[in-house]
Amino acid sequence: MRLEVFGLSAGYGASLVVTDLDLRVEPGEAVAVIGRNGMGKTTFLQALLGLLPRRTGRVVVDGCDVTAEPTHRLVRRGIAYAPQEAGLFGALTVEENLRGGLLAGRRGTVAWDEALGPFPQLAARLRQPAGTLSGGEQRMLLLARALAMRPRLLVLDEVCDGLHPPAVARVVQVLREQRERRGLSLLVVEPNLKAVLDLADRILLMKRGRFLLERSPSAPGAREDLEHELVFS
Amino acid sequence: MADVIARGLDRRTAVRTVLLAVAAVAAMLGPVLGDRYTVYLLTQAFIYAALAVSLDLVWGYAGILDLGHAVWFGIGALAVGVMTTTVGRDGMVVAVHGGAGTYAAAVLLGMLASALAAAVVGAYCFSWRGSTRFYVAIVTLAVSVVCEALYLEQRWTGGDNGLFGFQLRLLDRIAWYEVCLALLGVTLAVGVVLTRSDFGLLMRAIRDNEARARHLGFRVDLLKVAILAGGAALAALVGGVYGAAVGLVSSPLFGFLFSTQIVVWVAIGGRGTLLGPVLGAIVLEFASSSLDRSFPDQWQLLVGLAFVAVVVFIPDGLLPPLGRLLERLLLGGEGRRPQRSLVPAAVPGGTEGRGEVVAALSEVTFAYGALQVLRGVSMEVRRSELLCLIGPNGAGKSTLMALIGDGTMRHGGSIRFQLDGLSVHRGRTVDHLARRGVIRKFQTPSLFESLTVAETLLLARHRGQLPSLWRRTRRIEVPGAAVELCRLSGLDRHLDVRASALPHGLQQALELAATVAAWPELLLLDEPTAGLTAQERRVVGEVLRHLSREQGRTILLIEHDLEFVDELADRVVVLQDGGVLADGSSDEIKRSETVRRGYLGASTPP
Amino acid sequence: MLVLVVLGLGIVLGLMDVINLAQSGFMAVGVYAALTAVRHGVEFWLAVLIGTAASALLGALAELVVIRRLYARPLDTLLATWGISLVVVEGIIVVFGHGPQAFNEPFVVGVPVLGLLYPAYRLVLVAAAALAVAVLTVIVRFTPWGLVARMVMANAPLSRALGIDVVRVRQLTFVAGSALAGFAGAVLGPIQGIDPYYATSLVAPAFLAVLLAGRSLSGLVLASVVLAVATTVFSRYFNPVYATAVTVGVAVALLRLFPQGLTRWRT
């Protein structure tokens, strides 16, 4: 899926949290947005998807201007979103959470086995309420549900948050596989710089609601530049 | 310019006074001008209008949706009935007795009984943590339904027939008209004085943002019970006069249909305006009684539809928009004279005791259900220092701050204070801690929508002390730092602007100013620079530095803006995953390897 | 007793995030529409269907004009839905007058139960109520529609982010709820006194059932059943009037003990 964003601004009340943002994700590309907390990354994603009112800006999907579309219809074009907070129905079971995602999947849904395949620890906990899962398992469930929707664009907000290094590596591996197999586009917000360096084709650094830097992980000095800005600015 | 405004003021008050005088005179001349039936209708209408005022005070101004208001009214009427009648064995009234004195005593007793009953209901509704706005609505509705049903089962209430024939015949029809008009006048006067006083501001604050009122130290639960009881007493007074005038009390007077009527009058007239409900009650009752002969049921249907329409489309009621229209026509939209001003007041402050421990946290743990948010946080907060709390999202910073300000949240470990008059934390409510000087400023502005800047600061300055029930303070004394903050941020040019009408930057400034006006001992700030421009951030920084260095206030703040932290902090504590990652000066933190790793993700190669 | 159970079910679907007090109004519409149909010679069960449809129609109208605009203002929803039920009462008075009405049970047959002759119609109603509870539980727990309804009820923005048309779901469930209320009203017509204030005495217990339910559908069913049982039990030992009072008291006390609702589990 090709996603293009032009001049997106959004905020709460009278203030703007993100201002005049442009973004492009090509089919099969993985774009990462990094930056410290409070810089507007989640606001950006939510405004992009229409979960937050956009003050200005246009969103174009595969050449189609979808700015006026309500969120649920935009999502049905093939976008799966795993939010940073309140992403699961805590009172519903793991199984129900997964099925909930499948309900809106486009182009049919994934077979049950295929959905759970990369996540064996979830298969053991199908009947548990999602709220009783550990933080890491909840992230896995979020990812599983998102993938089960057979999306063309996967939008992840801090999916590696609070995961131990082996779990992070697993997530990165799963995402890589999905990209290769299905040509999935990725738009991730991620504080974990190492994971992002492993996964992304392009990295954008956000500061106070604007994109400050753009680097490709393979470019020389990219990591140092990004680290410096992250910690010291 | 000044005299133009002065002339404007004169015109506004002049117009208001004239209108009021005309209405009062016309009303008093009613018996002369109108026929018997009209006089009778108006007498009833005045009673209902006074009742509407009592509900408006409780609901329109304090936000307590009392769906059983008829019960308090009924108790008033019943008190008069019971004390002046004797009920025979078959439940019918056999004798009426008592002079004017008995009636007066009965009215007073009714007021007392009503206030007590309302206090019990209020205490039940408001005194527990999970209470919501719905709860009181439903409980009062239930009380109304139950009372109406129970009335029929008792003998002393007259049962099915109720009590009748006990009107005070000392006064004739016309005298009763004037008495009821006077009752309306008195009720309105009480309402006006109360709502224009400083206490009236507190009522509206409780309606607009109860949590914030608590955080400023006000005993909100107690206040709500008092307000409900007060409104009930007023309603009972009206009920007592009704009983003395009409001499009838029966079960429908307690029932939920009548309660609904009152709510309809207030909603359509305009909640929170006093005059709106009066007009609503009079107009609707008058119209419905007049139309009773021609289209009684169609009229009620129309009223019902109007009620729904008003609630959905014009929730403020009909008076405010009409009033604004009238104002524009008569006064041409002139400016208002400045209502209030700020005056710097002397406050205790100073840098002695700098460095002493003010708050000590030891192995504090906290969990939301199954989610462990804080895993053993130990740190100290020292007097007059500016301590910054930083760390990634989900590290538990906001939770920790919320915990410090609220001793009723269950946590492990211990938190001890060393503030003047406060050492224990556990179990202390938010308002208790606030009264002792632990004041928290929220991340997103959490203000009182309908209160102006000056009014918000006035309430903040009280820090939980009860404001005057009749006085309307115009020159508000606040700490010099708050005045200075208003000047620097530009708030001083908006003193009479409602909080909801302020731009975001000024709302944040007001948030901070209110917190400062409360003159905290320990100031808890959650992301004070979120969403601010560079200029605004500088102002905040200046104020905080002044408060800490020169005024000796202790400040604990959560921030993501590391530049800001660098400039201001005496000490920095880094939280991650619910635990303290590092604790030291700003320079030490910047150089720390653990911190860099924590921020950048695990296992970064050197 | 049946009334509360069936009404509870009606509330179940009409709920979503809305404190809906208009259910008694929908019940009244159902019974009066059925009544009119029966008066015109329509067969009983068809008349019940007509009643159900009439309520559904009114529900759709109410949702469109009123409810949809008030999702962000819960207290005003309470008032507005209350207003709707009053409008219904007044509307009925305008059309049918104040007096009581009646229509007969479809079959007047006695069935011996435990030595007493029990009217068959009532037994049918009991069975139907039980069946309705069962069917509804199944739908809510095991079908995709039930899942969608539960998701929207638990977290509407998240549901939207998953591609669910929240507006449509709320509309459909509200209409379904009003239809169910209409059905309940119509079906109870023969054994309840029919007057313009039909079912308004249920408003208070209905309120309480809604609060006792917390934010879960199963909680609502449980709450309705609990209150229904309480009323029946108390009616046996007390004067029915006192029974209502006691039930209300019990409900209010229960709410104090279970502030999040009877089923206690929250997201």
The C-alpha of B581 sits at a distance from chain A's nearest C-alpha, in angstroms, of: 15
Q: Which of A66-70, A183-187, B598-602 shows the lowest mean pLDDT across its residues?
A: B598-602
Closest C-chain CA to A73: C163
Q: Is residue A228 part of a domain?
A: yes
Question: Mean pLDDT, to the nearest integer, of B116-142?
Answer: 84
Question: Which residues from C are below 8 Å from A101, CB to CB?
Answer: 162
Chain A closest-CA separation from residue B395 CA (Å): 9
Arithmetic mean of pLDDT over chain B: 85
Query: Is A83 inside any structural domain?
Result: no
Contact B393 A161 (CB under 8 A): yes
How would DSSP label each residue in B347-404? Answer: ----STTTTSEEEEEEEEEEEETTEEEEEEEEEEEETT-EEEEE--TTSSHHHHHHHH
Number of domains in chain A: 2
- Interface ipTM: 0.84
Contact A11 B531 (CB under 8 A): yes
Question: What pLDDT score does B602 carry?
Answer: 40
Q: Nearest Cα to C27, choosing from C205, C224, C185?
A: C185
Rg (alpha carbons) of chain C, rounded to whole number: 18
Nearest to A132 among B370, B562, B563 (CB): B370
| Same domain for A66 and A98 | no
Residues A171 and A196 in one domain: yes
Inspect the interface and report whether the beta carbons of C163 and A75 lie closer than 8 Å: yes
The number of beta carbons lying within 10 Å of the beta carbon of residue B5 is 14
pLDDT of residue B172: 83
Domain of B254 in residue numbering reads as: 39-329
Q: Which structural domain, as residue segments, surrounds residue A135?
A: 89-151
Confidence bin at A110 (pLDDT 50/70/90):
low
In this complex, the residue of C69, C84, C241 whose CB is nearest that of residue B150 is C241
pLDDT more than 70, % of chain B = 93
Band (A107; pLDDT cuts 50, 70, 90): very low
Contact B602 A194 (CB under 8 A): yes
Return the closest-CA partner of residue A76 out of A151, A147, A183, A2.
A151
Q: Which of A46, A52, A72 to mutate to test the interface with C (most CBs of C within 10 A)?
A: A72
Among A114, A131, A151, give the residue marking a domain's end.
A151
Say yes or no to pLDDT of A78 above 70: yes
User: Cβ(B364)–Cβ(B378) under 8 Å?
Assistant: yes
Pair (B178, B55) in one structural domain: yes
Residue B369's region, left for phi above 0, alpha for psi from -120 to 50, else beta, is left
Task: Decide if pLDDT at B394 tops 80.
Answer: no
Nearest residue of chain C to residue A76 (CA atoms): C163
Is A74 domain-assigned?
A: yes
Nearest-neighbour CA in chain C from A146: distance (Å): 9
Indicate the residue of A13, A194, A227 with minimum beta-carbon distance to B603.
A194
Domain boundary among B329, B345, B366: B329
Can you read off the two tokens belonging to residue B263? 């709510």
B146/C84 touch (CB, cutoff 8 Å), yes or no = no
**B64 pLDDT above the threshold of 90:** yes
Residues B268, B399 within the same domain = no
Q: Which residues of B touch C69 (CB under 8 A)?
A: 312
Q: Render B268-337 in DSSP notation, one character per residue.
A: HH-TT-SHHHHHHHHHHHHHHHHHTTT-HHHHHHHHHHHHHHHHHH-TT-SHHHHHHHHHHHHHTTPPPP
Q: A64 and A165 in one domain?
A: yes
Tell me the C-alpha to C-alpha distance, in Å, between residue B491 and each of A73, B461, B495, B513, C14: 44, 16, 6, 9, 47
Q: Are residues A141 and A97 in the same domain?
A: yes
Last residue of a domain, one of A151, A167, A187: A151
pLDDT band at A13 (very low <50, low <70, confident <90, very high): low
Q: Please tell me whether residues A168 and A67 are part of one structural domain.
A: yes
Task: Return contacts of A63-67, CB within 8 angstroms, 24+ apart.
Answer: A63/A2
Residues present in chain B in total: 606
State residue B68's pLDDT score.
92
> Do B382 and B257 sit in the same domain of this protein?
no
Q: How confident is the model at residue B9 (pLDDT cuts 50, 70, 90)?
A: low
- pLDDT tens per residue across span B506-546: 888 898 999 999 999 999 998 888 767 778 888 889 899 98
- Do residues B302 and B438 share a domain? no
What b/e readout covers B564-582, taking b as 16+ CB neighbours within 10 angstroms?
bbeebbbbbbbbbbbbbbb
Give yes or no: residues B127 and B91 share one domain.
yes
pLDDT tens-digit series, residues B197-210? 999 999 999 999 99
Domain final position from B309, B329, B349: B329
Number of compact structural domains in chain B: 2
Instruction: Tell me how far apart the alpha carbons of residues A29 and C267 are, in angstroms, rounded to a whole number.
Output: 35
Query: For residue A19, how many C-alpha atoms fall within 13 Å in the half-sphere facing its CB?
Result: 11
Residues contacting B363, CB < 8 A, separation 6+: B376, B377, B378, B412, B413, B414
Q: Answer yes or no: do A133 and A164 share one domain.
A: no
Same domain, A184 and A134: no
A16 and A74 in a common domain: yes
B166: closest CA among B237, B70, B98, B73? B98
Which site among A49, A97, A103 would you substitute to test the C interface, given the most C Cβ atoms closer than 10 Å to its Cβ?
Answer: A103
| Nearest to B117, CA basis, from B73, B57, B162 | B73
Are B282 and B422 in the same domain? no
Res C18: pLDDT: 57
Contacts of A71 in chain C (CB under 8 A): 160-161
pLDDT band at B61 (very low <50, low <70, confident <90, very high): very high
Is residue B234 predicted with pLDDT exceeding 50? yes
> In 3-state terms, chain C is what percent helix, strand and coil (to 5)?
75, 5, 25
Residues A70 and A125 in one domain: no
Nearest to B377 by CA among B367, B406, A37, B386: B367
Specify the pLDDT at position B378. 92
- Chain A residues interacting with chain B (CB cutoff of 8 angstroms): 11-17, 36-39, 84, 131-132, 135, 158, 161-162, 164-165, 168, 191-195, 227, 230-233
Contact C160 A91 (CB under 8 A): no
Per-residue pLDDT of B533-582, as tens digits, reads 778 888 889 899 988 888 888 999 998 777 888 888 889 998 887 888 88
User: What residues of chain A lie within 8 A of the CB of C213, using their CB?
Assistant: none
Q: How far apart are CA B226 and CA B213, in angstroms?
A: 16
Residue appearing with tokens 């017509």: C189
Region of poorest pLDDT, from B155-164, B287-296, C137-146 = B287-296
Q: At what angle do helices B133-153 and C74-96 cross, to 10 degrees?
A: 40
Residue in A closest to B592 by C-alpha? A231
pLDDT per residue as tens, chain C (267 positions)? 445 444 555 555 444 455 677 877 888 898 899 888 888 888 888 888 999 999 999 999 998 998 888 877 777 888 888 888 889 988 888 888 887 777 766 665 555 556 565 667 777 777 777 777 677 778 877 888 888 888 887 788 888 888 888 888 888 888 888 888 888 888 877 777 788 877 776 666 666 676 676 656 666 667 777 777 777 777 777 776 677 677 777 777 777 777 666 555 432
Lowest mean per-residue pLDDT among B84-93, B384-393, C201-210: C201-210
CA nearest to A131 within chain C: C267
Verify that A123 and A60 share a domain, yes or no: no
Residues B269 and B391 in one domain: no
| pLDDT, tens only, B496-517 | 888 888 887 788 889 899 999 9
CATH code of the domain containing B442 = 3.40.50.300
Which residues in chain B touch residue A232, judged by CB atoms under 8 angstroms apart? 562, 590
Distance in Å, alpha carbon of A228 to nearest chain C alpha carbon: 35
Spatial separation of the C-alpha atoms in residues B215 and B518, rounded to whole Å? 10
**Does C265 contact A129 at a Cβ distance shorter than 8 Å?**
yes
For A142, which residue in chain C has the nearest alpha carbon? Answer: C162
- CB-defined contacts A:B, below 8 A: 71
d(CA C240, CA B177): 41
**Are residues A66 and A8 part of one domain?**
yes
Check residues B422 and B56 and name the one with the higher pLDDT.
B56
Alpha carbons within 13 A on the beta-carbon side of A148 = 26
Identify whether residues B406 and B325 lie together within a single domain: no
- Look at C78 and B137 and tell me if their CB atoms are within 8 Å: yes
Give a yes or no: residue A207 inside a domain: yes
What is the pLDDT at residue B186?
Answer: 93
Q: Tell me which of A112, A136, A151 is where a domain ends.
A: A151
| Distance of residue A77 Cα from the nearest chain B Cα, in angstroms | 31
Same domain membership, residue A94 and residue A38: no
Say which of A49, A89, A131 has its CB closest to residue C151.
Answer: A89
Say how many residues make up chain C. 267
B239 has pLDDT over 60:
yes
Chain C interface includes B65 (CB < 8 A): yes
* Best-predicted range by mean pLDDT (A213-227, B55-69, B274-288, C1-15): B55-69
* CATH code of residue B150: 1.10.3470
| pLDDT at res. B603 | 34
